[in-house]
Amino acid sequence: MHTADCPLSDILGQQSRLWPVAGEILTKACRGDNTGGYLEQTLPLILAQAAGDYGAVAYPHEGRWSMVGEAGAGRALPIELLAAALDGDSARAAGEWAAVPLGRRGSSAAVLAVHCRTPEEAKKNLDALRALAPVLHAGLEAVRRREKDRRRLGRLEAILEIANSWNQTREVQTLLSQMAEAATRLLGADRASIFLWDRPNRLLVGRPALGAPDGELRIPDDRGVVGQVVQTGLPRRVDAAIEPELIDHRVDAQLQYQTRTLVCVPLRGRTGELFGAFELINKLAGSFTQDDEDALVELAAHAGVALENAQDRQQLLSANRQIAAQAAEGIRLIGECPAMTALRSIVRRVADTDLAVLILGENGTGKEVVAQSIHYMSRRRAQPFIAVNCAAIPDTLAESELFGHEKGSFTDAKEARPGKFELAAEGTLFLDEIGDLSLSSQAKLLRVLEEKVIVRVGGSRPIHTEARVVAATNQNLAEMVRAKKFREDLYFRLNVVSLELPPLRTRGEDILLLAEHFLSDFCRRARRKTPPISPTARKRLLDHAWPGNIRELRNLMERLAYLSAEDRIDVEDLAFILSPRGQTPLLADDRQSLAEATDRFQIEYIRRLVEQCRGNMSVAAARLGLHRSNLYRKMRQLGMEIPRAEREETFS
């Protein structure tokens, strides 16, 4: 019964003498800060009206009776009388004790117990206690609500302060640890974990997880209480003493831990999408309450938004770092020959313009590196650089690849997908091997370059694009235009600025600069000291024709960095520099004199023959039509090294 339901006169009935006491009880309720303090002030008033020397308010909890407040000399409560009064929902007296239920059974039920001086007084004052009980209960409820609101307000203030600190954190792993620490501190729990839902792999990834490898726990997304929460989207509280079957004891065994109580709530993002769960384990005092669950729901709401923000920030930071790494590591135009000096000058001038650039050169000369250099030296450096190999795209998929497609536009179009122009956004789109693009795709590409508008395959909505196009080819586009294999109008649209990359064989000392750069880079990755290149090996590098250009040189240096075991790179280590047919070209460099070319041929021929004979000089000399001593003499004339054993035999 609540005082709001009827006036005090109806509650107290004929007990008009109790009206002042009831009013004082309610007045104190309006000022009460907590239930214990409120009962300390009101129980003496009730004892005075019931001729009692001790009074207490108690409630049943987990099979025991817990005291809310008391007044007077302490006494052991009559448990059976309290239970009988509560079960019967009526006032009762037994001996010197009187007991009156406060509130209805099953709600916030409690019992007022009063000890009187004699059994007669206990029975005599039972009516007065029965009359004051609803007033005391109403006051208690008011104080409890105020106390609960104050606790909730304090928690909300703490949550807002915590959430504000979370929003300053940029790293997801650090944020997860901060969330777990804040939750355990705020709600008085032993441990906390945030589980992120890996939907594609049907896993829940929990962090932090003490005792688990790398502090991370992985469980199937349908296991245990956490699995129930992410599947249903509803909070759960579990007490192992009451529902032991709900605890996943396999996880406890893995972590060498015992779960007694837990509360778990869903994690949702800004749009309400469920992406994980927030779990607290083992309340330090008692079991988790509805208040704890409500507080964790509020905390999880802020946690979900903070995690999304941190993940977004981390992705942006990661993308920026990746761009910076690309710009720093792979975009160096190395070389001091006149052609490269001129190329760098042109790249610097055109990089920050919107001019279309056509890069020409043999395979492996570094056309994509030049395109990236143009991109990262421009104001577009913070935007994407998207590379497309036109030769690798089937004609039937070229339009979809470049311009995107709508769902259902063709058989395999199960969902809408943006094309490379959309992905490039306001960045740079590098079209490599542009000469291999079909004529129909060339026509649509020209229209996009002219109008800066694309339309997805199967769609009708125009999409504006600001992507800068840089094209490259190893083919002679002018010849292709004359042969009607490439559109003339597209050729002139792409060829606003033309950059022609020189083949490596014409770049002289640049070969050595590039070799040392690549060797140093790969040795660093292989965690070894960079070996020097011997003079004979350097000459061999300069003499080679490099049909694969820079790509061939880079691959060679990579093999040497990982496979060469010597302290320096010698000419023997370069034995696998061969032409595509497996032989070193006879005239590797047209700058050599006839005598130099002849000596080089003889050196290579003798070395290869000795290798084929597995070092048997007698057999090699016989196949050359020479005596063995003449073979040694010829090798000395050519500056070739004679095996030590053979050298000792020669001079013995």
pLDDT value of position 112: 93
Residue 560 placed within a domain? no
Sign of CA dihedral 500, 503, 508, 513: positive
Looking at the fold, whether 245 and 126 belong to one and the same domain comes out as no
Question: Rounded to the nearest 5°, which phi and psi values hold at 56?
Answer: -150, 155
Residues 138 and 189 in one domain: no
Residue 178 domain-assigned (yes or no): yes
Instruction: Kindly state whether residue 584 falls inside one of the protein's structural domains.
Output: no
Phi/psi for 395 (5° steps) reads -55, -35
Domain contains 552: no
Last residue of a domain, one of 100, 123, 149: 149
Residues 127 and 187 in one domain: no
488 with 340, same domain: the answer is yes
Cβ(349)–Cβ(355) below 8 Å: no
pLDDT tens digits, residue range 132-185? 888 898 888 888 888 888 877 777 777 777 777 777 666 777 878 888 888 888
Radius of gyration of the chain (CA): 43
The domain that contains 459 carries what CATH number? Answer: 3.40.50.300
pLDDT of residue 181: 85
User: Domain check: are 191 and 144 in the same one?
Assistant: no
- Whether the link from the prior residue into 503 is cis, omega within 30° of 0, is no
Domain end among 149, 179, 195: 149
Domain check: are 345 and 434 in the same one? yes
pLDDT at 4: 45
Contacts of 633-637 with CB under 8 Å at 24 or more apart are 634/602, 634/606, 635/606
What pLDDT is stored for residue 321 in this prediction? 61
pTM of the model: 0.47
| Residues in the chain with pLDDT values less than 70 | 1-16, 62, 104-108, 168-170, 209-214, 316-317, 319-330, 575-592, 643-652
pLDDT of res. 15? 62
Tell me whether residue 23 is in a domain.
yes
User: Checking phi first, is residue 616 left (phi over 0); if not, alpha (psi -120 to 50) or beta?
Assistant: beta
Alpha-carbon gap, residue 313 to 243, rounded angstroms: 41
CATH of the domain at 109: 3.30.450.40
Residues 29 and 132 in one domain: yes
> Are residue 101 and residue 224 in the same domain, yes or no?
no
The reply to whether 275 and 346 lie within a common domain is no
Tell me the CATH number at 616: 1.10.10.60
CA 518 from centre of chain:
32
Whether 157 is covered by a domain: the verdict is no
Residue 175's domain spans which residues? 167-314
Which residues sit opposite 93 in a β-bridge? 98
Q: Are residues 401 and 464 in the same domain?
A: yes
Buried/exposed 361-399: b ≥16 CB within 10 Å, e otherwise: bbebbbbbbbbbbbbbbbebbebbbbbbebeebeeeebb
Residues 309 and 172 placed together within one structural domain of the fold: yes
The answer to whether position 319 is within a domain reads no
User: What is Dmax (Cα atoms) for the chain?
Assistant: 143
pLDDT tens sequence across 248-274: 778 878 778 888 899 999 999 888 889
Of 96, 76, 73, 93, the residue nearest 84 (C-alpha): 93
Contacts of 427 (CB under 8 A, 6+ apart): 375, 380, 383, 384, 385, 386, 467, 468
Same domain, residue pair 338 and 486: yes
pLDDT score recorded for residue 328: 43
In a domain, 349, yes or no: yes
How many domains are contained in the chain? 4
pLDDT value, residue 578: 47
- What's the pLDDT at 591? 56
